[in-house]
């Protein structure tokens, strides 16, 4: 059994800034000019794992690509602008990251983004299914609980669906949980690992503090408050930004951490584990996030929920109906599209 003690991803992020590697991945960022897309592209440009970085957006990519291309790292950067250049941006890509779509404003839930982002993600997923069907698809665009079912249905429609290669990026929930636990316990956040399971919205975000490494204990009132803060951390940022959007910098970090883990495993590194919202048989929800062992072809093994506390069991039970509804909404949307 693989130890949940391992935290390969943060090691991978640090390694992302190292100078030597044999790797040559071709990666596309769709929505590369946005609040997440720009800093994410910067972090990816810094990685020796990547030899080609394609930046696609409906605005500003010539400028973003010109700017990033002057950085003295090996990844060759190219900008692609507008739908007619989308196919070219995807050809030959092994990993595609999708932060395209509108972010939340104060008072909005992630589900309020559905009407705009569902179409954006469905169209981008269709282009991926046509032009890079073998790629690892990492969806950041919200509501993740619906955009992953949408992406999966689109890939099914094109006859190229591989559930081991379609990921909802929930890494920011893990990053936040690690940081908040470290703050409360006076630990180095780089050494804390809290698995976060379920989905990526409010009560569907289920931090497993009982599985934290190193082991930590909290009185119930503190545990309840900590859990609530992790679940609403996105809203904390939305409120602080006061209309200027949602988490971008921490999300760029989390997205880069996730991509580096995917690339590390593709390059043959063993024991790479990340939580992600994926097709799943671990619960009655057809999609669910749990720790996953990555391999050369995406998910190698779903490590499942593991042993959890009664408090966490209750959260899982309470998340199921909301998750199922968000999944169904995504599936029905994709099925109704021409
Ligand atoms: N998964 C997570 O944990 C997480 C965290 C934070 C934000 N998000 C989500 O990420 C998304 C992006 O957030 P942001 O702050 O970067 O938003 P933003 O508005 O700053 O950037 C979005 C970018 O997408 C581009 N875009 C719009 N339609 C497009 C299309 N059809 N094709 C390509 N590009 C398109 C826009 O031009 C813009 O550059 C939002 O949906 C947000 O809710 C997810």
- Over range 31-51, report the average pLDDT: 98
How many angstroms is it from 127 CA to the middle of ligand 1? Answer: 17
Q: How many CA atoms lie within 13 A of 157 on its CB side?
A: 22
**pLDDT value at 11 more than 70:** no
Q: Which protein residue's CA is at the shortest distance from atom 28 of ligand 1?
A: 101
User: Could you give the angle at the alpha carbon of 115 between the alpha carbons of 131 and 95, nearest 5°?
Assistant: 25
Question: Is any ligand 1 atom within 6 A of the Cβ of residue 85?
Answer: no
- Give the integer Cα–Cα distance in Å for 261 and 138: 12
Q: Which protein residue's CA is at the shortest distance from atom 11 of ligand 1?
A: 141
- Identify the H or E element spanning 205: strand 205-207
How many angstroms is it from 102 CA to the middle of ligand 1? Answer: 5
Question: Is any ligand 1 atom within 6 A of the Cβ of residue 142?
Answer: yes
| Residue 59 Cα: closest atom of ligand 1 | 37
104 is annotated as contributing to ligand binding: yes
**pLDDT value at 15 more than 50:** no
Question: Is any ligand 1 atom within 6 A of the Cβ of residue 33?
Answer: yes
User: Could you give the angle at the alpha carbon of 295 between the alpha carbons of 291 and 301, nearest 5°?
Assistant: 45
**pLDDT value at 42 more than 90:** yes
**pLDDT value at 292 more than 80:** yes
Domain annotation for the chain: domains and CATH numbers:
25-169 (3.40.50.720), 171-327 (3.90.110.10)
How many angstroms is it from 199 CA to the middle of ligand 1? Answer: 19
* Annotated catalytic residue, options 70, 131, 158, 200: 200
Question: Is any ligand 1 atom within 6 A of the Cβ of residue 35?
Answer: yes
pLDDT tens, position by position, 43-90: 999 999 999 999 999 999 999 999 999 999 999 999 999 999 999 999
- Give the integer Cα–Cα distance in Å for 140 and 39: 14
304 is annotated as contributing to ligand binding: no
31 is annotated as contributing to ligand binding: yes
42 within 8 A of 259, measured Cβ to Cβ: no
**200 is a catalytic site residue:** yes
Please give the structure tokens belonging to residue 331: 């599936």
pLDDT tens, position by position, 149-193: 999 999 999 999 999 999 999 999 999 999 999 999 999 999 999
**pLDDT value at 6 more than 80:** no
168 within 8 A of 200, measured Cβ to Cβ: yes
How many angstroms is it from 186 CA to the middle of ligand 1? Answer: 34
| Residue 123 Cα: closest atom of ligand 1 | 31
How many angstroms is it from 216 CA to the middle of ligand 1? Answer: 35
Whole-number average pLDDT of the chain: 94
**pLDDT value at 107 more than 60:** yes
Question: Is any ligand 1 atom within 6 A of the Cβ of residue 197?
Answer: no
- Over range 271-298, report the average pLDDT: 98
pLDDT of residue 13: 55
pLDDT tens, position by position, 208-266: 999 999 999 999 999 999 999 999 999 999 999 999 999 999 999 999 999 999 999 99
């Amino acid at each position: 059994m693989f130890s949940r003690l391992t935290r390969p991803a943060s090691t991978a992020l640090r390694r992302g800034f190292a100078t030597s590697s044999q790797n040559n991945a071709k990666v596309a960022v769709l929505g590369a000019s946005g609040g997440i897309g720009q800093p994410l592209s910067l972090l990816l440009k810094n990685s020796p794992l990547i030899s080609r970085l394609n930046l696609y957006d409906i605005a500003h990519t010539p400028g973003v690509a010109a700017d990033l291309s002057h950085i003295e790292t090996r990844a060759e950067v190219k900008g692609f602008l507008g739908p007619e250049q989308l196919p070219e941006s995807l050809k030959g890509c092994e990993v595609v990251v999708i932060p395209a779509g509108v972010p939340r404003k104060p008072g909005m839930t992630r589900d309020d983004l559905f009407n705009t982002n569902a179409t954006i993600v469905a169209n981008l997923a269709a282009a991926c299914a046509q032009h890079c069907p073998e790629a690892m698809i990492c969806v950041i665009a919200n509501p993740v609980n619906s955009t992953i079912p949408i992406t999966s249905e689109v890939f099914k429609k094109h006859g190229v669906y591989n559930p081991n290669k379609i990921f909802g990026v929930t890494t920011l929930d893990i990053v936040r949980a690690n940081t908040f636990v470290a703050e409360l316990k006076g630990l180095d956040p780089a050494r804390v690992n809290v698995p976060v399971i379920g989905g990526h919205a409010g009560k569907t975000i289920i931090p497993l503090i009982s599985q934290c490494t190193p082991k930590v204990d909290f009185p119930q009132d503190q545990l309840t408050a900590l859990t609530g803060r992790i679940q609403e951390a996105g809203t904390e940022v939305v409120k602080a930004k006061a209309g200027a959007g949602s988490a971008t910098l921490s999300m760029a970090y989390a997205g880069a951490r996730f991509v580096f883990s995917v690339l590390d495993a593709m390059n043959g590194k063993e024991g790479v584990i990340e939580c992600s919202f994926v097709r799943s048989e671990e619960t009655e929800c057809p999609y669910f996030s749990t720790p996953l062992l990555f391999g050369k072809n995406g998910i190698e093994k779903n490590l499942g929920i593991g042993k959890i506390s009664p408090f966490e069991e209750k959260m899982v039970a309470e998340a199921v109906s909301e998750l199922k509804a968000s999944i169904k909404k995504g599936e029905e949307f994709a099925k109704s599209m021409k």
